[in-house]
Amino acid sequence: MRASTRFHQRHPVLTAVLGASALTWLFQRLRARLSPAILPEPTGPYDVGRVAFDWVDAHRDEPYARHGHRRPRELSAWLWYPAEPEAGAKPGPYLPAGWRLTSLFWHFQGSRVRAHAVPGAPVARPRARYPVLVFSPAGFPPLYYSSLFEELASHGYIVAAVSHTYEALPVSAFADGRLRLFRPASVGGALKVSRASHEEDVRARASVVDVKAEDLRSLVDELERLQAGSGLLAGRMDLERLGAFGHSMGGNAAMELCARDARCRAVANLDGGVWSTVGQEGLPKPLMELFAEHPEYVRPCDESVSQKAFASVEYCEANRELAVGGWQRLYARARPGYSIQIRGAGHASFTDCGLLPLKRRSLARRALGTIDGRRMWRVLSDYLRAFFDRHLQEAPAPLLDGASPFYPEGVLAPPEALFSPAPGS
């Protein structure tokens, strides 16, 4: 018997008053609100574990400390890894305590979301060590990329995502439960249409990228200490096969890390603009750039201004040159370079937001594009895995060699072709 039929039978008065069709609609809405939102099941041969840890970077001052307060930079990270959970072990919550507050800001019920990683599960034994990927988010907590990280971990990668303190909206949480409220300086004014000059914004955001890149370098240092220690992941990380990736300004930070640190062998930029010097100098390492659709870089600048993407035509033109020019130089100077646009993707499509039960008023909904959330997860996961498989594990990756009929959303072309201005712009 269908659940809606049973509901009608249990509530004959409501059925009589509202009618069967209206009550069925109401039942379906209530059911959708109460049913869990389950992240996609990882497809790899491994189960997935998850742990978090905090540390202090004693070599750096906190860049976002209150005026007159000097103290070292404190950081936190989450790790996803191939695991062998004990029988009956259950996945942890999508958003552990502290991080649950972020779901109020992004307007969804965090307790409804189900992930797959098991907290503290033993590391899988078939391989002695696993390649490592470090990740830099932007504005969103690291946990809002869980579906992607679980998929990569299920295929044999250890993913370590740093939480850039003060950056997540509205709070950052440490593993020990401490909270830090968002501070606007940590995003360089990137959350609204800027009224500053383009030069001022470039300086502010380059400074943010520098902090984030140094956070990544500190994370790699900490992973080396964990590798040499006696904890859960000791001896299980292959830091000779280290890759980096990031989203938005985190993608810029990942590229800066690879430019500064020889330990990084390959890097992927997920829809990140280029504010720092790496966009001018290039990066002679394997580099993948994955893009959303960006109409603001294709349509005439006066239209972009009228759509409130930029404050002025002059700002639009300068930003287009900085972004598209930087992407093109990086692509041309990489060894080798890959440039892929995912049709229908918006800037937030690289997070879990397309899979979450977001309410209509959630700001993230405006930046999701038109692609289905599960399809985006599949396309993004497979392109990223192909890239790191090829350049960290010397494995075949035919998906990178040209257009695939199985991935019609993926457009492989140089950035200058993907973002060629429309006539008259």
- The answer on 112 and 164 residing in a single domain is yes
Q: How many other β-carbons are positioned within 10 Å of the β-carbon of residue 209?
A: 30
Q: At residue 261, does pLDDT exceed 60?
A: yes
At 67 the pLDDT is 82
Q: Is residue 93 part of a domain?
A: yes
Write down the residue that tokens 């997540």 correspond to: 168
Q: At residue 4, does pLDDT exceed 60?
A: no
Q: How many other β-carbons are positioned within 10 Å of the β-carbon of residue 369?
A: 18
Q: Is residue 336 part of a domain?
A: yes
* 308 or 17, higher pLDDT: 308
Radius of gyration of the chain (CA): 22
- The answer on 101 and 17 residing in a single domain is no
Write down the residue that tokens 């070292």 correspond to: 72
CATH no. for residue 398? 3.40.50.1820
pTM: 0.92
pLDDT tens by residue, 184-205: 999 998 988 888 999 999 999 9
Region 38-50: mean pLDDT is 98
- The answer on 134 and 18 residing in a single domain is no
Look at residues 231, 244, 182 and name the one whose alpha carbon lies nearest to residue 52.
231
142 vs 403: CA distance, rounded Å: 31
- The answer on 125 and 4 residing in a single domain is no
Q: At residue 369, does pLDDT exceed 80?
A: yes
172 vs 166: CA distance, rounded Å: 6
At 387 the pLDDT is 98
Lowest mean pLDDT among 1-15, 67-81, 199-213: 1-15
Write down the residue that tokens 């594990």 correspond to: 393
Domain that holds residue 24: 1-35
Look at residues 232, 229, 262 and name the one whose alpha carbon lies nearest to residue 118.
232
The residues facing 77 across adjacent strands are 53, 162
At 421 the pLDDT is 77
Look at residues 211, 208, 216, 207 and name the one whose alpha carbon lies nearest to residue 162.
216
- The answer on 10 and 146 residing in a single domain is no
Q: At residue 348, does pLDDT exceed 70?
A: yes
The residues facing 267 across adjacent strands are 244, 287
At 127 the pLDDT is 85
Q: At residue 86, does pLDDT exceed 80?
A: yes
At 11 the pLDDT is 64
pLDDT tens by residue, 286-302: 999 999 999 999 999 99
pLDDT tens by residue, 213-227: 999 999 999 999 999
Region 389-416: mean pLDDT is 97
CB neighbours of 224 closer than 8 A, spacing ≥ 6? 239
3-state DSSP helix/strand/coil percent for the chain, to nearest 5?
Answer: 40, 20, 40
User: To the nearest whole number, what is the mean pLDDT of the chain?
Assistant: 93
Contact by Cβ (8 Å): 180, 169: no
* 32 or 253, higher pLDDT: 253
- The answer on 109 and 6 residing in a single domain is no
pLDDT tens by residue, 137-182: 999 999 999 999 999 999 999 999 999 999 999 999 999 999 999 9
- The answer on 218 and 362 residing in a single domain is yes
Q: Could you give the number of structural domains in the chain?
A: 2
CB neighbours of 171 closer than 8 A, spacing ≥ 6? 98, 101, 102, 179, 180, 181, 182
3-state secondary structure of 402: coil
**How confident is residue 17, by pLDDT bands cut at 50, 70 and 90?**
low
Q: What is the DSSP letter of 299?
A: S
Q: At residue 7, does pLDDT exceed 60?
A: no
- The answer on 109 and 7 residing in a single domain is no
